[in-house]
Structure 1
Amino acid sequence: MPRRPSPLPPVPTGLDRRLRDATVFSTLAARRAGVSRGRLAASDLESAGRGLWRVRDRPAQLLDRLRALQDLHPDAAFSHETAAAVLGLWLPRRRPADGPVHLAVPSSRSMRLERSGLVLHRLVPTTPTTVHEGIRVVDPVWTFVDLAAGLSGVDDAAVIGDSLVRTAPTARRRADLPPGVVGWDRVRAGVAARSGARGVRLARAALEVMRSGSDSAQETRTRLRLVQAGLPEPEVNPAVRLDTGQTLRVDLVWRTWKVAVEYDGPQHFTDPRQIRDDAARERSLRAEGWEVVRVRSEDLADGRWDLVVWQIREILRQRGAPV
């Protein structure tokens, strides 16, 4: 019976060289940890490309993969969709788990890095970068403009933009916001600094329709489409104080007419606690005369969206809104 390989020690990966139980790591990190060549050849490891190793039977984590690549290219920075994933920014389209990695290398370096799944870009000296979890990424607002260059419409850019200016109602939740959330001042200044760059026009247009407070990309899309349909613009996740003294956060609100729209993502149908909370919040609102309309992802499809808009418009009209 073959011997089981000895346990791997934590390896120092990323720019911070922090010891991590990594699912993907570089030969360089393994050497720093004292892992022998023979141990790298053991049956529980496999090659993940030149100078990289992957632990078999464990799902490869994106941040581990990026830290391993960072070990090999310490002067480079991850950009575009890869930077957005690290920074916690929303993308208009879901990024495949095994999608390409975007790496920006200094202009002094050769662009000939032959590695499968790697998309190369130029990292000019003026490009602002930040380090998160041992990974160097292009600045969030710079990334916003870079991504806008590949988009076709303002709505897609606004999805990314809303994730840059997210807010949270409590100090605890603010501490949980991802590192890409930078606020309005930095977004405006960063977009202004990219004058002449590809994507900056669309980024500027997105600034006009971006709003703080959104909790998801689909919530942003719902708000934008309601306004485009000619409805009054709703408040985004405001605090609604009831006569009972209870304060609730509601996705989209027309406070004057006591009408609310709640966007229900997948967790609203699978998480028992979320289901209970949703039901209790809706009961509390309806008890004080609020009308609540729930929207799902399938409701945003062309065939169903017109019916959703008609329903909301009728409710607002009956309550005196100028629609």
Structure 2
Amino acid sequence: MTKPFDSSHLPDVFRGSEARKAGLITASQLRGSSVRRLFQDVYTRADVEVTHELRCRGAALLAPPEAVLTGRSAATVQGVELARPLDPVEMVVPEKYRFGPIDGIKIRRTEIKPEESGPWNGIRIARRTRIALDLLLRLSPRKSGWVRRLRTGVPDLDQFMRAQKLHDLHLNGEFYGRRNRGIRLARHALRLSDPRAESPPESDVRVVLAAAGIAATPQFEVISRTGHFVARLDLGDEEYKVAIEYDGRWHNTPEQRAHDRKRRRRAEAEGWRFVIVTAEDLATDFQGIVEAVWRARRGAVSPLTVPRPGQEGVRMARV
């Protein structure tokens, strides 16, 4: 009976060709169940959890030293988890270098200055202001319209800015004075960004509204006529006293629903009207969200929730 291959002596990520040359593993063992392939010629042990950070280190084994880890990948390595484990590893290389294509690694050839990155695992990793820029330059203009790209890029930028305690004054120097492909859209996204946003869906709703000419402030605090704190809103349209709130799955517990109802009633007593947005609304009916907010601005419906035409008492009535 053949003894099972013990892979414990192998690193958690390694080049298959180099491990074979060193006599640590054979070609048949590389095809076995003791190891898992991450990229062509890059493997991990089967007992190791595959995270995005692990895959970034694996990609670094293939990349030239001039390659720079950036975008969602660099953000995730730095603790802002924007990339899922199996998302493509994002890198840029200076225009004069050739690297790729490689399945599982997204490579852009673009200008990047030496001071915009530092050393990391044999390659380089972008500094935080460059990561912020690449979160937006990574979006291909050929694949979708500008609103769709903003709906992807602004939530990423909001979360990264919030975690890294950045604001637009930190980033203006990175976003202006450049001619990178996609820079105009990136600047527009920067103007829309706001690190006060507490979740990507809240940022997404804000972009949808901004595209329709509706400005809303994240985490807006309602203060009573007597100067006391009343409630904090996901998004507040102060001029028209319209609150726009995203109800995700965490709002579905009886306790959270009761809390939301009391909080919204207090704001309603101060003259605020509510539009409640669900995940389904955001995914399939962004025009309906805009219409509901315009109706609430006109004061044409009762407070607390704004049902859509043909949807009275259904989705939008959930609180």
Q: Same fold (TM over 0.5)?
A: yes
The percent identity for this pair of structures is: 21
Query: Does residue 136 of structure 2 align to residue 118 of structure 1?
Result: no
SS class of match (1:37): coil
1-structure distance, mates of 2:156, 2:295: 28
CA contact (8 A) 2:155 2:201 kept: no
| Counterpart pick for 1:105 among 93, 106, 114 | 93
Conservation of the 8 A alpha-carbon contact between 1:89 and 1:164? no
Q: Structure 2 residue aligned with 1:64, among 45, 50, 54?
A: 54
Q: Secondary structure at the match of 1:193?
A: coil
Equivalent residue for 1:37, pick from 18, 25, 34: 25
> Is residue 77–residue 103 contact of structure 1 (8 Å, CA) maintained in 2?
yes
2:221–2:229 Cα contact (<8 Å) kept:
no
Q: 1:237 aligns with which of 198, 215, 219?
A: 219
Cα 1:48–1:192 shift into 2, 3 Å = closer
SS in 1 for 2:61: helix
Kindly state the Cα deviation for residue 118 of structure 1 after the two structures are TM-superposed.
3.3
Check conservation: 1:78, 1:137, Cα contact below 8 A. Answer: yes
Answer with 149-158 or 203-212: which moved more: 149-158
Shift of 1:58: 6.4
Match of 1:251 among 234, 237, 250: 234
SS in 1 for 2:205: helix
What SS class does the counterpart of residue 213 from structure 1 fall into?
coil
Q: Distance in 2 between matches of 1:184 and 1:83?
A: 19
Distance 1:49 1:89 in 2: 21
| 1:314 CA displacement | 4.1
- The TM-score, its normalising length taken from structure 1, stands at 0.66
Native 8 Å contact 1:149 1:198 kept in 2: no
Choose the corresponding residue for 1:77, options 68, 81, 85: 68
Aligned residues: 285
What is aligned with 2:8? 8
Given that residues 167 and 213 in structure 1 are in contact (C-alpha distance below 8 angstroms), is that contact kept between their aligned partners in structure 2?
no
SS of the residue 2:43 aligns to: strand
Contact 2:91 2:108 in 1 (8 A): yes
Per-residue deviation, 1:280 = 0.9
Among 258, 271, 280, the alignment partner of 1:279 is 258
Whether the 8 Å contact between 1:27 and 1:53 is mirrored in structure 2 is yes
* Other-structure match for 1:193: 177
Partner of 1:299: 281
Q: How does 1:114-193 map to 2 (within 5 A)?
A: 115-122=102-109, 124=111, 126=113, 128-130=116-118, 136-138=124-126, 139-147=130-138, 150=141, 152-153=145-146, 156-157=149-150, 160-161=153-154, 163-165=156-158, 177=163, 179=164, 182-193=166-177
Between 294-303 and 242-251, report the one with greater CA deviation.
Answer: 242-251
TM-score (norm 2): 0.67
Structure 2, unmatched stretches of 5+, are 304-319
C-alpha displacement of 1:108: 5.9
TM-superposed CA distance for 1:67, in Å, is: 0.7
CA RMSD across the alignment:
4.4
Is the Cα contact below 8 Å between 1:103 and 1:121 reproduced in 2? yes
Amino acid at match of 2:170: R
CA distance in 1, matches of 2:23, 2:220: 54
Query: Relative to structure 1, is the Cα distance of residues 205 and 48 closer, same or farther in structure 2, using a 3 angstrom cutoff?
Result: closer
Amino acid at match of 2:232: R
